[in-house]
Amino acid sequence: MMPRFALLEHHWNGVHWDLMLDVGDALRTWAIDAAIVRDVTLPARALGDHRQIYLDYEGAIGGDRGWVRCVDRGDYESRIWTPDLVQVMFSGAQLVGRAELRRVFAGLGPDEGPEGSTLAWTFRLGNLD
């Protein structure tokens, strides 16, 4: 059985998109700060793992953290998974094909980023060359 993914539009302090990849008991999650456009590198932030319920969830988020709407979901195949690089093949309705999450500050410690921010990453769907 292939692992699943979900892409949720999250309305809270503006809008971002939560990309969640099923990695067993949890969902590895990144916030993407702009709408996904094929062949465009977008800024992303690593978030804490989320519960698997979010693979199928739409609605209000507890703790007054806004609400989410599912943009896409489906299966994915992991091609590369390291602390600094994740490459997958998506099989969703909108997310289809190769995608990459790349850590921007690979030389820093696991929780370091610019000005003490959360982990800085980029996301790209499509041509990875």
Mean pLDDT of the chain: 89
**Displacement of CA 7 from its chain's centroid (Å):** 7
Give pLDDT tens digits for 69-125: 999 999 999 999 999 999 999 999 999 999 999 998 645 555 554 444 456 899 999
pLDDT at site 1: 84
Percentage of the chain beyond pLDDT 90 is 76
**Displacement of CA 16 from its chain's centroid (Å):** 10
Structure tokens at 119: 């982990």
**Burial (CB count <10 Å: 0-12, 13-18, 19+), residue 8:** buried
pLDDT at site 127: 85
Cα–Cα distance measured from residue 69 to residue 83, given in angstroms and rounded to the nearest whole number: 28
pTM of the model: 0.86
